[in-house]
Amino acid sequence: MTTQAFVVGTELPSITVHFTRAELVRYAGASGDLNIIHWNERTALAVGLPGVIAHGMLTMGHAIRVVTEWLDDPSQVVDYQVRFTRPVVVPDDDLGAEVTFSGKVSAVNEDGSAVVTLSAVFEGSTVLARAMATVKR
Amino acid sequence: MHRTAAVVEIERPQAAQLFAAARAAGHADVVAPTTFPIVVTLNAMGDAVTDPSVGVDWSRVVHGDQRFHYERPIVAGDELTVHTVIESIKTLAGSDMITLRGDLFDAAGLPIGSAWTSLVQRGE
């Protein structure tokens, strides 16, 4: 457990991830979310999406790594929420879609727990809103 | 209310080191990733919303909001039971939004936490 107190304004080390079609297939299998829009471009375009999009949960899962890799113990995260505001479009190439995740301590509560506000940026725009994790000491 | 049970199994590429680190931190076994409960809660929610009379077209469904709250961490070996509740159904600008809450319990029936999922079915 972290012994040092959390400090408002602390910036957490950022993480950059490349989402590829192969990773979407792996995540579909791991999560059980087999929705066709995450692997079939023809269907994704037909229903009005800009292309094959990443699972929101894949984005959410990577974003919290900013916090869990910063903490001593991942179980210090006691609450985590996001709103998915823009799709991450994953091209059919080897590089994939580049998403950069960062975080900052935005509040420290009376009990010593902290709120970390997270950000996820894809092609210059945020793809998550209200992305917040509460972490205990 | 739908009840779905699952046993947590976590793959362990460096099993010995991960287990040792988890034990050193005071856990009974390795801790599941923060977003892990979606694996069980989404399946349970699927049972709740794929009733043919509801008429969900999954290719038009996108994830709107997601939240996880923990009373205690999930560790390998936990047996989880999910109670799924439909919290709300709204129609906004031609899209239908459903919010579900999955409450997670361990083998002893004690609360582990909850997951809230909002799904949006976009209009034609």
Domain count, chain A: 1
CATH number of the domain enclosing B17: 3.10.129.10
Q: What is the total count of domains within chain B?
A: 1
Question: Is residue A50 over pLDDT 60?
Answer: yes
- Mean pLDDT across the stretch A95-108? 98
Joined tokens for residue B89:
């159904």
Distance, in angstroms, between B22 CA and closest chain A CA? 8
Instruction: Calculate mean pLDDT across residues A61-88.
Output: 96
Q: Is residue A31 less than 8 Å (CB to CB) from chain B?
A: yes
CA dihedral B1→B2→B3→B4, nearest 10 degrees, is: -160
Closest residue in chain A to residue B31, using alpha carbons only: A75
Q: What is the pLDDT of residue B62?
A: 86
Mean pLDDT of A121-128: 98
Residues of B with CB below 8 A from A1's CB?
Answer: 25
Q: A102 is in which domain, residue-wise? A: 11-18+55-135
Higher pLDDT, B29 or A134: A134
Q: Kindly state whether residue A33 falls inside one of the protein's structural domains.
A: no
Of A39, A118, A29, A43, the residue nearest A81 (C-alpha): A118
Between residues B21 and A2, the one the model is more confident about: B21
- A36, A37, A79 ranked by CB distance to B69: nearest: A79
pLDDT of residue A1: 42
Q: Is B63 helix (H, G, I), strand (E, B) or coil?
A: strand
**What backbone phi and psi angles, to 5 degrees, belong to A124?**
80, 0
Are B59 and A43 within 8 A, CB to CB? Answer: yes
Partners of residue B66 in chain A, C-beta under 8 Å:
56-57, 60, 81-82, 84
What confidence score (pLDDT) does residue B5 get? 62
Domain residues for the domain of B111 are: 2-121
At residue A70 the predicted structure's pLDDT band, cuts being 50, 70 and 90, is very high
What are residue A68's phi and psi, to 5 degrees? -70, -25
Write down how long chain B is.
124
User: At A116, which CATH number?
Assistant: 3.10.129.10
A61, A82, A87 ranked by CB distance to B33: nearest: A61
Confidence band, pLDDT 50/70/90 cuts, at residue A56: very high
Q: What is the dihedral of CA B107, B37, B44, B85, to 10 degrees?
A: 90
Distance CA B105, CA A88 (A): 33
- Smallest CA–CA distance, residue B21 to chain A, in Å, is 9
Q: What pLDDT does A62 receive?
A: 97
Query: Could A61 and B66 be called an inter-chain contact, meaning their C-beta atoms sit closer than 8 Å?
Result: no
Nearest to B59 among A36, A61, A64 (CB): A36
> Touching check for A5 and chain B: CB below 8 Å?
no
Note the pLDDT of residue B94. Answer: 86
Asked if B70's CB is within 8 angstroms of A79's CB, the reply is yes
Instruction: Name every chain A residue with its beta carbon within 8 A of the beta carbon of B69.
Output: 78-79
Interface residue A113 vs chain B (CB under 8 A)? no
Identify the weakest region by mean pLDDT among A6-20, A65-79, B8-22: B8-22
- Predicted interface score ipTM higher than 0.90: yes
Dist CA A71 CA A12 (whole Å)? 10
**How confident is chain B (124 residues) per 10-residue block, as mean pLDDT?**
60 73 90 94 79 74 94 96 93 89 97 96 78
